[in-house]
Amino acid sequence: MTAVATARVASRAEAFKVALLAFVLGTGLVFVTGFAHPDTIHDAAHDTRHALSFPCH
């Protein structure tokens, strides 16, 4: 029983780490493209930023 409980805790901890990393990278991507100056990057992310209520104008 102890091995199963330990494995379950470890898998939850790993899942939390992965979710946190995905959140940080996703948020960073939105903000990096939000303040980007090249028109190509701005235009590529324009609709996504507005869908997420991130102002870019």
- Global confidence as pTM: 0.52
pLDDT of residue 29: 82
pLDDT of residue 19: 94
- CB of 29 within 8 A of CB of 21? no
Rounded distance, CA 45 to CA 39, Å? Answer: 10
Per residue in 13-48, pLDDT (tens digit) is: 899 999 999 999 988 887 877 777 777 776 667 777
Question: In 1-57, which residue ranges form alpha helices assigned H by DSSP?
Answer: 2-34, 39-51
Rounded distance, CA 54 to CA 31, Å? Answer: 9
How far is the CA of 11 from the CAs of 1, 5, 52, 54, in angstroms?
15, 10, 30, 33
Per-residue pLDDT band at 2 (split at 50, 70, 90): low
Q: Higher-confidence residue: 28 or 57?
A: 28
Task: Tally the residues of the chain.
Answer: 57
Evaluate if residue 1 carries a pLDDT over 60. Answer: no
